[in-house]
Amino acid sequence: MYFVIRHKENIRYTVIKENKLPENRHQHILKDEIIELKNASSKEKYPKKLRRVAIWDDVNQQVIEIITNQMSWCSNTISELYKSRWEVEIFFSEIKQLLHIKSFIGTS
């Protein structure tokens, strides 16, 4: 199982390796690194290496940092996957607001 999440401010990590960005990358890809969690309790919960991809968000004029355990996909794919995931989050948020739903229970 793979995950793609947003980097939280309080995550402490050590950069193991900085991956070379390919020439054909999307221009919004800023960094692609292999990292290891630094905090002892975090490292105990997830001892494997992670990947950190930094992308530029033109809409909000900010850098978004993404953490994933997927090592073989290109950074473009990871950024597009996060973008799609975020669009799903926005969709459900808007549905809840539009229909005045206080809680949302789903099975799929």
pLDDT tens track for 45-89: 889 999 999 999 888 899 999 999 999 988 888 888 888 888 888
Contacts of 42-51 with CB under 8 Å at 24 or more apart are 42/11, 42/12, 49/16, 50/13, 51/78
What pLDDT, on the 0 to 100 scale, is given for residue 104?
65
What pLDDT, on the 0 to 100 scale, is given for residue 107?
58
